[in-house]
Structure formats: structure tokens, C-alpha cells
């Protein structure tokens, strides 16, 4: 760490040598502006004092520190820390940076690069601030992290980031405080690891990151090839597991094969699997199906099916973490309208006790209603079983998160709309910018839409006898003590339909029918996820960036249900007057989804501000400082244009390099969220005006190079950019006051444009919402934004999408967004 002016200033105030201050800060890895310095130093003092209350752990850490160079542990700097805290506690010092005294509590932008510093940004009003137990564990993590950095330098893996994330999640309320237990005074570090971080020899759930850090400190290990911290030896060979499943002899109505055998390959042995668990993976997630065999009965519903179909069915029973949020390849094709019509008819027969369901039990009536709701609301069964009944809208609670209900007076359903939670929390200044400057309505969170279903299901619900909960304003449609029996009755009814009609219905396939119908109308899986609650990886990720009006969701849901209704009732003998309801006009207001509800007005004002600052800099008298100002404002303009035109993620080294652009076609390769193999890079297209801006930027660099020929470092950097055929240096960069090149990062970009208080990746939220609002197909938008999951990769072997056709369809919309925002090429210092 270089001793900057701020370090010298802090050393002068605390009357401590600058080398000691720099050594202390080097162990903490502070950001460049040392934001929240006064708060961080105070909290660091609390953590180290709490650690001193556990002398066993403290002495163990001191012994570990003494094994290397002298004074490598952070505990050796307590006297330096006390002096710094004493000076900062007196109040703001004239001439000191404002960032030192910040009390916003904002950690965004420094979490990954500066995990220890971000963990120490804890405001006094937090419930953990006065907890001695919290600071005991935080002190242990800080001391181990400092020791690990002093030992291995750049050879540190992800253990520090993972450990700080655990402590920070407790402070943020994402993990319970009970996760951290009091540490006895006599415990040594090895005992602390065994008693507090392990459970039955495995990392304790919730504190895996802390366990990984402490274990690496104890074994003197740095970065390892395997994420869980295994040795540097050869990986264990894959092992083979065989699972044999036989039918239950006690099942009165057995279905499926008599016996099946599944042969699976598991990567590595037990040590390798433990390492996978440590970094958050489940070993079974990596299982590979190698073979399957089965013996079926003649009366089995699977008789006559292709072996491949049965193989996929068996493969679907592999239990791993992602099976509940991935649409795996084994999923069967959507049910036909004839099959769904049979479901609708049988659901009514089950409710009314007709035909095959005359001998139903007491739960049959509710099982029939459940089957109807699975078809017409499209919700997962576990959500439907929690449905409530209210008298009217006025009886609804204020907190409506995850509320699924039916309103008797309005004859309407209350559907919960998922909303991004902690990841999208905004500071007050960001909310003011959105609502005042951007004229955006506050985005609804944890809210609902109230929809009148165009199918007469409510009449069956209203006839069911209800029992209100004590001291509550609602009744449960499916009583809690009978839900398991109702679910069983519904499953038995589906099995009865399968046997009678030789079908392959399942509750999951029935409840996903409406999801597919909604996607058929909107072409976007995100809309299906918001309206039905069926979550997959791509839907949850893409919904994080999506804002959508409630009126659109309501009309889309009603159109999907009405089209499905019209397709099914052609196959039924039910009169229209007894089955159909007219589609009602929309009655919901507000926007759902991302809290970064960016309207074109805000982007227009941002562009006006960037161009105004650039024009003001160009009017300055000619000088080196004027050239620096012009360059920085031009780079800020280009960087924000790229962010709002490509959806570039807010990562370090924000913008691309020359070698990644094809200036003739405008195609650009982006690799903003992956590793060096670039196996998940995505292709975007640059508008002709943005390509012209890049040409102007190159000419601007030529002029800047001639004026700054005395600045050797900058001169060489520009020479590399302009002279090398394939330069590998960043295309965009800022120039600091000390005439050093500063990379484009979220922190530096925000420092250059302080008025823009929103997250730097706001362009992704703006771009996805605007493209979908303009009618672009969800498939194209997901490919453009880099959202995909297994089986949906754009331009892959089984994809019919091509970059040329994709951008030919997106080009008119992108040009419309450019004109709407006012982006135009700027010359900078290039007089052309």
C-alpha cells in the first residue's frame, strides 16, 4: 500500500509514524477514499477489545503471528489504534476529507474489494453494535484475516470475503444473531474452531466462511486450487454410486416400474465433497447419470413409453440443490388442451362428488377446489394450500408479502408479486433522485395485484363452509390440520385420471400450465414468474432488473386465463353462463419489481448534466489542468453511455478494450461476470453513433498525448492504446490530480459524477424494463442482458437465434432510446 496524503495527514494528527499507520491500514485493505474512517476505527477498537476478553483465542493468534515476521498480527497495533480513535473522537478536523466522517452506513461498491472495511461499517443504531458476542466473533475474523494477508499477500483465496460475509449478514439481519454463540475465555483457537465452527466434523451451517478462514490460518494455507481449501495434491478420482428403487409393497394402488436401478458418477471422494460443501455447493449437484435400467409391470402407466423418456424421468429424481429452481431437460412437453380439459372436468366432478368420485371422503370437496386453483391460478401447490379468504379489500392486512387470498365481496383473487428485497435497497438520496429528478412513482414492494378471474371459480369457494381464525379477519380455505389429507386426496384423484385415461399428469405439470400460457402471450419467463410464483434461475435473476406496471400484469394474467379457458371449454359440455366471467377492466396501480424504476426523464437529465460539464471544461483557458478536466468529463460521458446502451455490469475495469470491438459491424464481446476462460461471454451491438463516439475518443487521445508529453506514464499508456495492433490496456481511464492513470470502477465513476447517487448498474435496470416495455421479445432481451440458464444459452448448438437477426430486431428500439435520452457523440479535445 502506498503512503498517500491522507495517511500522512492521519499520522500527523495521531502523532504516530506514518509507517505504522500505513502498516495498520494495509492489514485492513481500505478503499481509496477511506470512507467511514472514524466509524471503522471505532468499531475496530471494539472488536479488538472484545477479542481481548477471550485470552485463549488472543494468545493463540499471537502465537500464530510470531511464527512469521515480527508484528504481523493486528493485535500488535492496539496502541496505534487507540491514538487514532482518540483523535478522531474529538470531531471533524479542518482540512480532512469528508469521506472520513461519513455516517451513511453504505457498503455498496467496496464489499468484494475491501471486505474487512465493509464489515466494520456498522452504525451505532444497529442491534449488533452493543453485542459483545458479535464483536468477539468479528474480532476473531479480523485478526485471522490480517494474519492471512500478512502471511500470503496476494496468494489469499476467497476465505476472507466469505468470513466477512457471514459476520456482515448477521449485522444486516439476514442471519439470526443466535448463529453466533459466546466464546469462553479459556478457549484456544483450535478449540474455537472445533466447538463454534464445526458440527459432527463438518462446517456448521451458516458459518462456513468463518470456518474456512480459521482452518486456513491453523494449517498455514493460502489460496488453494479447490475452493473449499483442500491440499495441493491430485484430485480424488470420481466414484460411482448405484441406487436401487423398488415399489412399495404396501401401496394399495402401485404405479411405475417394479424395480429401477440408477448408476451415477460422483466427482471425487469424501474429502472433495467436504470441500464442495465448504464453498456452498452440494456434492449431489455435480452428480452425472451414467445409466438406468428398470423392470416394469404390464399394467404400469409407463408401458409403451420410450426408454429415453423413462431415463429422463429417473434422472429427474436426482436430489440436488438446483432441482427446485431449474427447468431441467427432463421436463415433459406441455399438456395438451384435451388433457387439460379432462383435468378441468374431473376437478369439478371431484368437487361435486360425481362419476368416479362419488365415494370421495370429507376432503374430496376441498381437493377438487385445489385442483381447480392449480389450473386457473397456476400457483405451486404449497402456496395454494395457504390461501386465505377475506370479506373484502378493506380487511386485507397492511403487510401483504406472500399473501394469497380470495375476496368474497369483489369476487377477486389477491396474488402476491415477488419483489427484489435486500439486493435493491436504496439510500434516501437515491430515492429522491428517482422520484424528484426522474419523476418515477415509488415502486411497489411486497405488494399484490387484485384480479377478477375470467373463470367462475369463486362460486365454488364461496359455497364452502369456513371457520374464521380467532382474533383474525380471515378464514383459511384449506385448514392447516387437514392440508396433508387434502393434498393426498388431490394426488389420488390425479392418479385416478391417469389410470382411466392413460395419461401422465402430475400436480407440477398441471400447475405450470398457466405459466406456459402467460409466456406464450408475453414471450418472457419473468412475467410468468411474477404472476404464478414458479421460480427458475433465469427468472429470479432477470426479475431483479425488471420494473413493470401493475395494470400490465393484471391484463396479461386475464388474457392468458381467458385464452386457456376458451381453448379448454370447447372440449367440455359446460354452459358458458355457468363457467365464464367477463374480463374486467384493470383496477391496480403502481409499478412492481425493481426499485430502480428509472424513467426516460432521469436519463435525459443525466445526459444533459454530463454534456454540460464537458462543455464547461472545454471553455477553460488552455492548460494541463483544463486538458485533464476535459478528458475526465469525456470519459464519464462515454462510460455512462456504454452502461445505458449495453447493460454492462458494474464490475471493476468497467469498460471494454479495443480488441473486443468490431468497429465495422458494431458487435462487441462482453465478459463482465465470469472467469478467464470467457466461456460465458455475451455479444452486444453498439449503435453507429456510439461507434462514432469511440472514433472521436481515439482522436481526442492523440491530442491529449501531444499536450502531456512530459507525463511519461500517461504518454506510454496512450501510446500503447493507439500504437499496438491489439492493446491489452483499458480503453477508458481517468487522470488523477497527481497525473496517474485511474481505472474505471464503480467507486471512481461515482466520485467523478457525485450527483448520480444510484447504483452504477442502474443501466441494466433501465435497459431491461425499457426494452420489454417497447415490445422486444423476452428471448432477445435475456440474450442481450446475458441472462440464461442450462438449455437456454443463446447462439448455442440448439438455438435458432443469431446475432444478426437479434440486433436487426433490437436496432430500431435502441435508436429510439438513444434519441429519447439525448446521447450524441462529443469531441472532447479533438477538433475535427
Summarised one tens digit per residue, pLDDT across range 480-527 is 889 999 999 899 889 888 888 888 888 888 999 999 999 999 988 899
Residue 303 has a pLDDT of 45
Residue 582 has a pLDDT of 57
- Give the list of residues 6+ apart from residue 306 with CB closer than 8 angstroms, or none: none
Structure confidence by residue, pLDDT tens digits, 613-628: 999 999 999 898 999 9
Residue 104 has a pLDDT of 80
pLDDT higher than 80, residue 647:
yes
Structure confidence by residue, pLDDT tens digits, 153-175: 777 777 888 899 899 888 888 88
pLDDT higher than 90, residue 700:
yes
Residue 789 has a pLDDT of 67
More confident residue, 399 or 557: 557
- Give the list of residues 6+ apart from residue 616 with CB closer than 8 angstroms, or none: none
Residue 389 has a pLDDT of 92
Residue 651 has a pLDDT of 63
- Of 573, 465, 593, the closest CA to residue 526 belongs to 593
Tell me what the mean pLDDT of segment 428-449 comes to. 73
**How does residue 426 score in pLDDT terms, banded at 50, 70 and 90?**
low
- Name the most confidently modeled range: 319-323, 443-447, 456-460: 456-460
pLDDT higher than 70, residue 466:
yes
Structure confidence by residue, pLDDT tens digits, 808-823: 889 999 999 999 999 9
Q: What is the DSSP string of 586-651?
A: P---SEEE-S----HHHHHHHHHHHHHHHHHHHTSPSSHHHHHHHHHHHHHHHHHHHHHHH-----
Q: What residues does 476 pair with on adjacent strands?
A: 388
Helix axes of 18-28 and 5-14: crossing angle, nearest 10 degrees: 120
Structure confidence by residue, pLDDT tens digits, 731-752: 889 999 888 888 888 888 988 9
Q: Report the SS3 class of residue 198.
A: strand
More confident residue, 826 or 429: 826
CA distances from 801 to 35, 246, 541, 797 (A): 46, 44, 21, 10
Tell me what the mean pLDDT of segment 275-287 comes to. 50
Answer yes or no: are the C-beta atoms of 560 and 512 closer than 8 Å.
no
- Residue 794's H or E segment, with its range, is none
Torsion of CA 496, 499, 504, 509, to 10 degrees: -10
- Give the list of residues 6+ apart from residue 450 with CB closer than 8 angstroms, or none: 393, 407, 410, 412, 413, 414, 415, 587, 588
| Cα 670 to Cα 678: distance, rounded to the nearest angstrom | 9
Task: Classify residue 185 by burial, with Cβ atoms within 10 Å: 0-12, 13-18, 19+.
Answer: exposed
Region of poorest pLDDT, from 68-77, 310-319, 700-709 = 310-319
Q: Average pLDDT of the chain?
A: 79
Share of the chain above pLDDT 70, in %: 77
Tell me what the mean pLDDT of segment 243-249 comes to. 56
pLDDT higher than 70, residue 657:
yes
Region of poorest pLDDT, from 74-78, 81-85, 601-605, 812-816 = 74-78
DSSP tally for the chain: helices H, then strands E: 32, 17
Q: What is the DSSP string of 329-395?
A: TTPPPPPPHHHHHHHHHHHHHHHHT-GGGTT--TTHHHHHHHHHHHHHT---HHHHTT-EEESSGGG
Structure confidence by residue, pLDDT tens digits, 80-136: 888 888 888 888 877 778 888 888 877 767 777 888 888 888 888 888 888 889 999
- Of 198, 171, 195, 168, the closest CA to residue 184 belongs to 195
CA distances from 809 to 365, 384, 644, 803 (A): 50, 40, 18, 10
Answer yes or no: are the C-beta atoms of 3 and 22 closer than 8 Å.
yes
Residue 425 has a pLDDT of 63
Cα angle 609, 427, 784 (rounded to 5 degrees) comes to: 65
Share of the chain above pLDDT 90, in %: 18
pLDDT higher than 90, residue 348:
no
pLDDT higher than 90, residue 288:
no
The architecture of the domain spanning 600-821 is: Orthogonal Bundle (1.10)
Answer yes or no: are the C-beta atoms of 368 and 351 closer than 8 Å.
yes
Region of poorest pLDDT, from 85-99, 308-322, 632-646 = 308-322
Alpha-carbon Rg of the chain, whole angstroms?
31
Domain boundaries, the chain: 5-218, 239-323, 337-593, 600-821
| Cα 440 to Cα 590: distance, rounded to the nearest angstrom | 10
Bridge pairing between strands 239-246 and 547-549: unpaired
CA distances from 569 to 338, 354, 422, 449, 500 (A): 10, 19, 44, 26, 20
pLDDT higher than 60, residue 236:
no
Region of poorest pLDDT, from 174-178, 256-260, 656-660, 769-773 = 256-260
**How does residue 593 score in pLDDT terms, banded at 50, 70 and 90?**
confident
| Cα 769 to Cα 602: distance, rounded to the nearest angstrom | 14
**How does residue 673 score in pLDDT terms, banded at 50, 70 and 90?**
low
pLDDT higher than 90, residue 799:
no
Exposed e or buried b per residue across 193-230, where buried means at least 16 C-beta atoms within 10 angstroms of its C-beta? beebbeeeeebeeebbbbbbbbbbbeeebbebebbbbb
Answer yes or no: are the C-beta atoms of 23 and 79 closer than 8 Å.
no
- Of 619, 556, 562, 614, the closest CA to residue 588 belongs to 556
Answer yes or no: are the C-beta atoms of 806 and 773 closer than 8 Å.
no
Q: What residues does 743 pair with on adjacent strands?
A: 733
How many CB atoms sit inside 10 A of residue 696's CB? 19
| Cα 526 to Cα 237: distance, rounded to the nearest angstrom | 40
Task: Classify residue 293 by burial, with Cβ atoms within 10 Å: 0-12, 13-18, 19+.
Answer: middle
- Name the most confidently modeled range: 146-150, 554-558, 633-637, 793-797: 633-637
Tell me what the mean pLDDT of segment 260-272 comes to. 62
Answer yes or no: are the C-beta atoms of 821 and 610 closer than 8 Å.
no
pLDDT higher than 80, residue 576:
no
| Cα 341 to Cα 697: distance, rounded to the nearest angstrom | 63
Answer yes or no: are the C-beta atoms of 739 and 711 closer than 8 Å.
yes
pLDDT higher than 70, residue 248:
no
Residue 674 has a pLDDT of 56
pLDDT higher than 60, residue 825:
yes
- Residue 413's H or E segment, with its range, is strand 412-416
- Of 351, 308, 595, the closest CA to residue 459 belongs to 351
**How does residue 319 score in pLDDT terms, banded at 50, 70 and 90?**
very low
Residue 325 has a pLDDT of 32
- Give the list of residues 6+ apart from residue 271 with CB closer than 8 angstroms, or none: 230, 236
Beta strands in 205-287 (DSSP E): 239-246, 259-266
Q: Global pTM? A: 0.61
**How does residue 292 score in pLDDT terms, banded at 50, 70 and 90?**
low
- Of 191, 200, 185, 140, the closest CA to residue 166 belongs to 140
DSSP state of 753: S
Amino acid at each position: 500500500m502506498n503512503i498517500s496524503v491522507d495517511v500522512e495527514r492521519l499520522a500527523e494528527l495521531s502523532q504516530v509514524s506514518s509507517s505504522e499507520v500505513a502498516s495498520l491500514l494495509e492489514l485492513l485493505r481500505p478503499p481509496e477514499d477511506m470512507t467511514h474512517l472514524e466509524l471503522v476505527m471505532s468499531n475496530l477498537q471494539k472488536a479488538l477489545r472484545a477479542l481481548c476478553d477471550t485470552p485463549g483465542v488472543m494468545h493463540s493468534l499471537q502465537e500464530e503471528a510470531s511464527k512469521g515476521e515480527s508484528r504481523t498480527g493486528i493485535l500488535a497495533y492496539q496502541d496505534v489504534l487507540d491514538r487514532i480513535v482518540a483523535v478522531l473522537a474529538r470531531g471533524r478536523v479542518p482540512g480532512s476529507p469528508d469521506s472520513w466522517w461519513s455516517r451513511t452506513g453504505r457498503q455498496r461498491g467496496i464489499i468484494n474489494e475491501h471486505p474487512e472495511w465493509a464489515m466494520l461499517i456498522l452504525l451505532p443504531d444497529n442491534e449488533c453494535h452493543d453485542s459483545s458476542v458479535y464483536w468477539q466473533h468479528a474480532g476473531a475474523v479480523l485478526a485471522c484475516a490480517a494474519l492471512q494477508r500478512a502471511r500470503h499477500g496476494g496468494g489469499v483465496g476467497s476465505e476472507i470475503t466469505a468470513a466477512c460475509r457471514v459476520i456482515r449478514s448477521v449485522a444486516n439481519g439476514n442471519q439470526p444473531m443466535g448463529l453466533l454463540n459466546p466464546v469462553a475465555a479459556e478457549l484456544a483457537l483450535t478449540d474455537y474452531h472445533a466447538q463454534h465452527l464445526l458440527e459432527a466434523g463438518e462446517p456448521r451451517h451458516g458459518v462456513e466462511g468463518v470456518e474456512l478462514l480459521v482452518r486456513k490460518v491453523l494449517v498455514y494455507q493460502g489460496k488453494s486450487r479447490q475452493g473449499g481449501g483442500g491440499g495441493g495434491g491430485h484430485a480424488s478420482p470420481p466414484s460411482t454410486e448405484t441406487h436401487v428403487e423398488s415399489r412399495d409393497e404396501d401401496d394399495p394402488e402401485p404405479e411405475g416400474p417394479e424395480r429401477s436401478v440408477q448408476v451415477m458418477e460422483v466427482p471425487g471422494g469424501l474429502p472433495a465433497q467436504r470441500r464442495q460443501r465448504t464453498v456452498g455447493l452440494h456434492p449431489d449437484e455435480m452428480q452425472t447419470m451414467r445409466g438406468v435400467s428398470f423392470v416394469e409391470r404390464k399394467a404400469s402407466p409407463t408401458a409403451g413409453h420410450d426408454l429415453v423418456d423413462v431415463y429422463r424421468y429417473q434422472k429427474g429424481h436426482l436430489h440436488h440443490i438446483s432441482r427446485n429452481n431449474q427447468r431441467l431437460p427432463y421436463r415433459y412437453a406441455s399438456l395438451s388442451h384435451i388433457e387439460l380439459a379432462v383435468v378441468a372436468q374431473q376437478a369439478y366432478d371431484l368437487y361435486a362428488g360425481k362419476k368416479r368420485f362419488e365415494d370421495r371422503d370429507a376432503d374430496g370437496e376441498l381437493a377438487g377446489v385445489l385442483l381447480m386453483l392449480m389450473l386457473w391460478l397456476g400457483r405451486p401447490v404449497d402456496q395454494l394450500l395457504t390461501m386465505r379468504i377475506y370479506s373484502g379489500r378493506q380487511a386485507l392486512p397492511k403487510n401483504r408479502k406472500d399473501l394469497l387470498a380470495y375476496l368474497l365481496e369483489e369476487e377477486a383473487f389477491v396474488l402476491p408479486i415477488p419483489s427484489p428485497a435486500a439486493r435493491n435497497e436504496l439510500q434516501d438520496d437515491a430515492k429522491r433522485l428517482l422520484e424528484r429528478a426522474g419523476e418515477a412513482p415509488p415502486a411497489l414492494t411486497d405488494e399484490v395485484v387484485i384480479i377478477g378471474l375470467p373463470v367462475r371459480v369463486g362460486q365454488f369457494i364461496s359455497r364452502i363452509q369456513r371457520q374464521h381464525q380467532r382474533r383474525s379477519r380471515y378464514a383459511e380455505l384449506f385448514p392447516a390440520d387437514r392440508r396433508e389429507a387434502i393434498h393426498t386426496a388431490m394426488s389420488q384423484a390425479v392418479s385416478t385420471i391417469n389410470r382411466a385415461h392413460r395419461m401422465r399428469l402430475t400436480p407440477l405439470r398441471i400447475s405450470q400450465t398457466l405459466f406456459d400460457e402467460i409466456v406464450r402471450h408475453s414471450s418472457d419467463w419473468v412475467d410468468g414468474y411474477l404472476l404464478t410464483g414458479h421460480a427458475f434461475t433465469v427468472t429470479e435473476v432477470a426479475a431483479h432488473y425488471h420494473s413493470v406496471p401493475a395494470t400490465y400484469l393484471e391484463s396479461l394474467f386475464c388474457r392468458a386465463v381467458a385464452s386457456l379457458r376458451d381453448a379448454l371449454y370447447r372440449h367440455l359440455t359446460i354452459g358458458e353462463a355457468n363457467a365464464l366471467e367477463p374480463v374486467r377492466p384493470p383496477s391496480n396501480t403502481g409499478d412492481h419489481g425493481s426499485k430502480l424504476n428509472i424513467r426516460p426523464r432521469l436519463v435525459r437529465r443525466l445526459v444533459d448534466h454530463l454534456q454540460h460539464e464537458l462543455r464547461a471544461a472545454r471553455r477553460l483557458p488552455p492548460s494541463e489542468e483544463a486538458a485533464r478536466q476535459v478528458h475526465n468529463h469525456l470519459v464519464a460521458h462515454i462510460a455512462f453511455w456504454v452502461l445505458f446502451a449495453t447493460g454492462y455490469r458494474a464490475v471493476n475495469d468497467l469498460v471494454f478494450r479495443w480488441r473486443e470491438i468490431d468497429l465495422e459491424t458494431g458487435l462487441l464481446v462482453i465478459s463482465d461476470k465470469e472467469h478467464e476462460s470467457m466461456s460465458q461471454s455475451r455479444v452486444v451491438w453498439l449503435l453507429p453513433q456510439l461507434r462514432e463516439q469511440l472514433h472521436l475518443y481515439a482522436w481526442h487521445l492523440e491530442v491529449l498525448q501531444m499536450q502531456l508529453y512530459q507525463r511519461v506514464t500517461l504518454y506510454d499508456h496512450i501510446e500503447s492504446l493507439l500504437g499496438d495492433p491489439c492493446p491489452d490496456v483499458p480503453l477508458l481511464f481517468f487522470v488523477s490530480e497527481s497525473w496517474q492513470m485511474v481505472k474505471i470502477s464503480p467507486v471512481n465513476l461515482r466520485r467523478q459524477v457525485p450527483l448520480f447517487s444510484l447504483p452504477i448498474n442502474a443501466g441494466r435496470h433501465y435497459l431491461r424494463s425499457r426494452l420489454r416495455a417497447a415490445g422486444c421479445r423476452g428471448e432477445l432481451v435475456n440474450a442481450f442482458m446475458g441472462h440464461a440458464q442450462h438449455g437456454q444459452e443463446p447462439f448455442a448448438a440448439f438455438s435458432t437465434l443469431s446475432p444478426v437477426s437479434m440486433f436487426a430486431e433490437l436496432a430500431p428500439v435502441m435508436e429510439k432510446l438513444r434519441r429519447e435520452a439525448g446521447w450524441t457523440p462529443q469531441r472532447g479535445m479533438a477538433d475535427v
